Amino acid sequence: MPPALTRAALSRGVQHSNAIVRHATLCLLCHVLSRLQSFLADLSAALKMVDVQEQKGGDHSRQSAVQQWRTLAQHGQLAARAFLPDVQPVLAQLSSIEKDVKASVAEESERGEGNGASTLLLSATLGALCRWQRCLPAALLEANVDAEKLVPVDLVSLQPLHQLQFLNLLEASQRPAFHPESAASRVTKRRLAGVSPALLPVLTVLSSSGLGDVHSTASAWAASCLRATGLFEDSMADEVFIWLDSLPRYAPEFLI
């Protein structure tokens, strides 16, 4: 984090009246959170190495090493939270940006021109939220942020890039870069409590003629979500994908 940029300065930047300032602040947050994600990924790799060498050092030695890596990860996450602004201001503008982008898409289809600033702002906002979810899941849980409820019902009406970013946000909520077991169990319990509100929008995207990355990411998340419902046999790993591949395909304009 640049030393000149305090938490208060970043908070003002996220809520600034100038869209360029907001976009620049969000891009900076994306960069900082990406560095944190790389740090946590390295710690996760170190934990895997501890598991590989488990038989050499004994169980007590392994538990001590695991605790040390987890403590280091938690200290890194706490340090990041002390410098980063609250996530609520970022969430507050997400809904208004979505409306601007949808209006821009409609205007572009009618007149051949749209508002590129709204598109850039939505991309930067979703990029920051995705990295926030992956690196600091506990912070979003404490703020009562549910990634599955952030997905718009008419996800299929957004541009493919924004569809993919929402899908990446859902995937990040299932696979954080690093987190304590207690946070993992809370995420799992919430997911298993019922059918996800994001399932129908994702299935609608799968029924449209989406791009390869959008389709594969949507298929992987939907499969994980459907398996959690108990509707598919655990012994048949491909059953859920066969069902998803059997969904009818329509052009996006017929699904809005």
Name residues whose C-beta falls within 8 Å of residue 168's C-beta, 6 or more positions apart in sequence. 126, 130, 217
Q: What is the pLDDT of residues 50-97, one digit of tens each?
A: 766 655 555 666 677 778 888 888 888 999 999 899 999 899 888 778
Per-domain residue ranges of the chain: 7-254
Note the pLDDT of residue 57.
54
Q: What is the pLDDT of residues 117-166, one digit of tens each?
A: 888 999 999 999 999 999 999 889 888 889 999 999 989 988 899 999 99
Size (the chain), residues: 256
Handedness of CA 69, 78, 144, 224 (dihedral sign): negative
CA distance 25 to 134: 19
The 10 Å Cβ neighbour count of residue 121 is 22
Q: What is the pLDDT of residues 88-112, one digit of tens each?
A: 989 988 877 877 777 766 665 555 4
Predicted TM-score (pTM) of the model is 0.83
CA distance 20 to 201: 31
C-beta of residue 202 within 8 angstroms of C-beta of residue 167: yes
Which stretches of 84-145 are DSSP H helices? 88-111, 116-135, 137-142
- Written as six digits, the tokens of 251 are 């052009």
